Amino acid sequence: MISMRTDLAIEAFETAVEEQLLQEPTIKEEIKVSEDKVDHFTVSKVVVPKSAEQQLGKKEGHYWTLEVPQLRTQNEKWQQSISQALEKVIREFLPLSNISSEAHILVVGLGNWQITPDSLGPLVCENVFITNHLFHNEPEAVEEGFRKVSAIAPGVMGLTGMETSDIIHGIVEKVKPEAVIVIDALAARAVERIHATIQISSTGIQPGAGVGNKRKEISLETLGVPVVSIGIPTVVDAVTITQDTLNYYLKTLGQKKRTQDNPSNSLSVGALPGTKKLTEKDLPTQEERKVYLGMMGELEDHEKRQLLEEVLSPLGHNLIVTPKDTDLFMEQAANIIAMAINSALHESLADGHGTSVTH
C-alpha cells in the first residue's frame, strides 16, 4: 500500500519501484512503461493492469504524462507548441478509451474558481468551444468538422453542498453525452513537476487516495460512459519541498566530491558555490549521505517523506503551497488545454486552430 498521496501515476510508479512493492516479476512485467516523443516533448506511457492496482494504488488503465517544462515560461511560441503537442496526445488517447470521433463529449471542469491554484477546470471550461446546443437548436448553422461538445464547472462541495460526482452523474443521465473529459488541478510530489507536466488518463477521478469509495468516483463505472481526465500539478506540500531540497543538497555535495576529490567533512558557508546541473549519478554513497545528513541521509526517498510527514502533520505544518505567480500560470495553462481540446475534438479546428474560436 502506498501511504502518501500523489495524483500522478508516474510518481506512484516510481515510488512503488523504489519501495520494491512490485516484487512479483510477473506484475512488474505486466505494467507497461514506454516513452514517446510528440514534437519537442516526451510522453511517458504507463499501462496499469488489473493485477497491479492494489500495489500501485492506481486504477487499471492508461496514464500518459507529457513533459512540458516550457509551460512555465511566458513565451508565446512555446505555449503554441505545447498546445499542439497536447492536441496530438488527446487525439491519440481518445480511441484507447473507446471514444469515437463523433461522440458528444461533456467537458467537466473540476475545482474551485475562488482558489486560484484549484481553478484549472473552471478556467478551461470558459475557453472550450461549445457546440452541443447548436446541433439541437440551429442544426443548419453547424458546419462540417464539428462535433457536439458541452461543458460544465460544477464547483466544489464547500460551494454547492453536494457531492460533485452526484452533480455530474445527474447531468450525464439527463443530457446523455457519449463521453466525459474531466479537467482538474493536481498535487505533485516533486517541485520540478509543478506547472511542468500534463497527465492524461483513462480512469477518471477517484477522490481521496487509492482505490475504493466507488460512490464518489467520476469514471466509466459510475457514469456509464468513458471518462478521460486531464490534469496539471499546481501545488506541493512542505514535505515535498524539503525532500527535494535535501536531495539537491546531497547531489551537490556528491558532485563536488567527484569533481574536487577533496570533500571536506565539515561544511563552512561559502563552500558550495553551486552548480547548474545535477543528475542521479551525483547522489553520494550511502556512507557519504550519512556524513552529510546523518540519520536522515540514510533513508530512502519514500522513508524520508514518511518521516517528514510524521514530523509536520501533527504540528499542522505540512503547508500546501503554490508558486507565487499562480495567477499568471493558471490562465496560461487553462488556455493551452482549452485550445488543445478544441483542436482535438473538432476536425475543423485541427492543427492548432482551436484558438480562433475563443474570444
With left for phi above 0 and alpha for psi between -120 and 50, is residue 183 left, alpha or beta?
beta
Q: Smallest distance from the beta carbon of 91 to a copy of itself, in angstroms?
A: 21
Site string for a copy of itself, 268-307 (x = CB under 8 A): -xxxxxxxx-x----------xxxxxxxxxxx---x--xx
Q: What SS3 state is found at 330?
A: helix
How many amino acids of this chain bind a copy of itself (CB under 8 A)?
Answer: 100
Q: Are 23 and 307 in contact (CB under 8 A)?
A: no
Nearest distance, CB of residue 155 and a copy of itself, angstroms: 7
Cell of 283: 547522489
CA distance 39 to 148: 28
Shortest reach from residue 185's CB to a copy of itself, in Å: 10
Neighbouring residues of 135: CB distance < 8 A, sequence distance ≥ 6:
142, 148
Query: Closest distance between a copy of itself and the C-beta of residue 75, in Å?
Result: 10
Give the phi and the psi of residue 128 in degrees, each rounded to 5: -75, 140
By CB under 8 A, the residues from 14 to 33 that bind a copy of itself are none
- The answer to whether the CB of 325 falls within 8 A of the CB of 338 is no
Q: Considering beta carbons, is residue 33 or 134 the nearer one to a copy of itself?
A: 134
Between 82 and 246, name the residue whose CB sits nearer to a copy of itself: 246
Decide if 348 contacts 145 (C-beta within 8 A): yes
Closer CB to a copy of itself, 43 or 182, in the complex: 182
**Residue 42 and residue 36 in contact, taking contact as beta carbons nearer than 8 Å:** yes
Torsion of CA 275, 280, 281, 284, to 10 degrees: 80
**Residues between 197 and 226 that touch a copy of itself (CB under 8 A):** none
328 in contact with a copy of itself (CB under 8 A): yes
Q: Does 235 bind a copy of itself (CB under 8 A)?
A: yes
Candidate list 57, 117, 226, 254; residue touching a copy of itself; CB under 8 A: 117
At its nearest, how many Å lie between a copy of itself and the CB of residue 266?
Answer: 6
The smaller minimum CB distance to a copy of itself, of residues 55 and 234, is found at 234
With contacts defined by CB under 8 A, name the span among 29-37, 49-57, 93-101, 246-254 that binds a copy of itself: 246-254
The answer to the question of residue 327 lying near a copy of itself (CB under 8 A) is yes
Long-range contacts of range 132-137, CB-CB < 8 Å, 24 or more positions apart?
132/104
Using the rule CB under 8 A, give the single segment among 94-102, 197-205, 207-215, 235-243 that binds a copy of itself: 235-243
Which of residues 154, 226, 231, 233 is near a copy of itself by CB under 8 A? 154
Nearest residue (CB) to a copy of itself, 116 versus 343: 116
Fill in the DSSP letter of residue 33.
Answer: E
HSE of 237, CA atoms in CB hemisphere, 13 A: 17
User: Whose CA is closest to 67, among 206, 233, 236, 185?
Assistant: 233
Identify residues 48-107 at the interface with a copy of itself (CB under 8 A). 74, 76
Instruction: Decide if 266 contacts 137 (C-beta within 8 A).
Output: no
